[in-house]
């Protein structure tokens, strides 16, 4: 089968790999669509995320994907064969304390594809644990099904925020995670959503995706503007969806006393600064979001019912052979890119 391997920063190669055989509990998936994620960019450009996750040898990237189940192993659900599925990519051990107490997303033995030592989905076939394959309705396209993964992150972020109806929300960073989070916050009852980005076209996109007051953080001071808009109070909930080291600090500064901050963005650094005095004096609740947990099925329902618009975020599509172009486009934020999908 064809596959695209990361070899070194900005070096992707189309290679031949052996088609996988499903193990007893696995499903063999003919991959249809793979989304390019901000976390993939850290690998693509630097070969690492922080100091723990470092690529040392060629690997197939890609963890946001959908496909058709072509076959299943002897112990897997045969009803999956022929179905289009959205794949929850992280496979936890299901035995450790995190897994057995409802927090499998922070399992230390998590298998996560498209990272150090684990091949991902930028290839024609992949075999994965069948229990993590979620069939989507017939009406859902392959591209939309691949978007369930980032959409599930947005759903998890709003769950962690414990958003109450009528509250105000600030979303820092209007990339695809920020735009999805704005939509989820909106239909979860947010009264007013402020949104910022440093790219003007993303500020525009924010206005189309549930952000009531979107502004350009490159031209205006985020903290001053949000504090002015809220009469000096701050928002009830701030969600950092930037990929910069200052996102968490901004979230803290724009949140009202006793409010909540959820930190979703991946800066790629091991340590980021935080204004701890402000956070302490306001007795803020800070929560970090680790992907998703028990919400893939609900995210599919939301996307299938069009409550959550995942498809309009996809601005570009490339075939597998042109994966490097897809990654370069995202790396350089060219051509008003929001979400790029590689369609196989």
For Zn ion, the binding residues (CB under 5 A) are 37, 92-93, 96, 99, 107
Residue (37 or 293) nearer to Zn ion, CB: 37
Pairing type for strands 26-35 and 125-129 reads antiparallel
Contact yes or no for 335/29 (Cβ under 8 A) = no
- Strands 339-343 and 26-35: what pairing? antiparallel
CB of 64 to Zn ion, least distance (A): 5
> At closest approach, how far in Å is the CB of 93 from Zn ion?
3
Closest CA to 159 of 298, 338, 311, 304: 298
> To the nearest whole angstrom, how small is the minimum distance from the Cβ of residue 265 to Zn ion?
12
Instruction: For Zn ion, give the closer residue by CB, 27 or 152.
Output: 152
Burial class (CB in 10 A: 0-12, 13-18, 19+), 67: buried
Task: Name which of 282, 281, 277, 221 is nearest 256 in CA terms.
Answer: 282
Which CB, 69 or 154, lies closer to Zn ion?
A: 154
Smallest distance from the beta carbon of 106 to Zn ion, in angstroms?
8
Least distance from Zn ion to the Cβ atom of residue 156, Å = 12
Of 4 and 107, which CB lies nearer to Zn ion in the complex structure? 107
- CB count within 10 Å of CB 101 equals 8
Question: Rounded to 5 degrees, what are φ and ψ at 256?
Answer: -70, 160
DSSP3 helix / strand / coil % (the chain, rounded to 5): 30, 30, 40
Nearest distance, CB of residue 147 and Zn ion, angstroms: 10
**H or E element: which one contains 338?**
none
Nearer to Zn ion, 108 or 219 (CB): 108
**Minimum CB distance to Zn ion smaller for 146 or for 235:** 146
């Amino acid at each position: 089968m064809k596959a695209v391997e990361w070899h070194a920063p900005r070096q992707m190669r189309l290679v031949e790999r052996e088609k996988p055989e499903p193990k007893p509990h696995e499903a063999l998936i003919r991959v249809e669509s793979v989304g390019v994620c901000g976390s993939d960019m850290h690998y693509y450009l630097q070969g690492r995320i922080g100091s723990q996750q470092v690529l040392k040898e060629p690997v197939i990237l890609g963890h946001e994907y959908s496909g058709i189940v072509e076959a299943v192993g002897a112990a897997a659900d045969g009803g999956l064969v022929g179905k289009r599925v959205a794949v929850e990519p992280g496979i936890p051990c299901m035995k450790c304390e995190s897994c057995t107490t409802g927090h499998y997303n922070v399992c230390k033995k998590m298998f996560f594809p498209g990272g150090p030592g684990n091949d991902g989905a930028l290839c024609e076939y992949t075999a994965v644990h069948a229990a993590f394959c979620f069939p989507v309705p017939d009406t859902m396209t392959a591209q939309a099904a691949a978007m369930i993964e980032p959409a599930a992150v947005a759903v998890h972020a709003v769950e962690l925020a414990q958003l109450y109806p009528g509250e105000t929300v600030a979303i820092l960073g209007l990339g695809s995670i920020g735009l999805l989070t704005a939509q989820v916050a909106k239909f979860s009852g947010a009264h007013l959503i402020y949104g910022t980005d440093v790219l003007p076209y993303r500020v525009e996109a924010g206005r189309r995706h549930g952000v009531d007051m979107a502004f350009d953080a490159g031209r205006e001071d985020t903290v001053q503007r949000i504090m002015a808009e809220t009469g000096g109070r701050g928002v009830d909930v701030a969600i950092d969806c930037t990929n910069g080291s200052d996102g968490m600090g901004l979230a803290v500064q724009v949140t009202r006393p006793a409010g909540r901050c959820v930190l979703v963005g991946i800066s790629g650094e091991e340590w980021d600064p935080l204004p701890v005095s402000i956070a302490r004096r306001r007795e803020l609740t800070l929560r970090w979001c680790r992907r998703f947990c028990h919400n893939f099925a609900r995210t599919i329902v939301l996307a299938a019912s069009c409550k959550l618009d995942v498809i309009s975020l996809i601005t570009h599509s490339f075939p597998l052979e042109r994966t490097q172009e897809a990654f370069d486009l995202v790396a350089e934020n060219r051509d008003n890119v929001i979400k790029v999908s590689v369609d196989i």
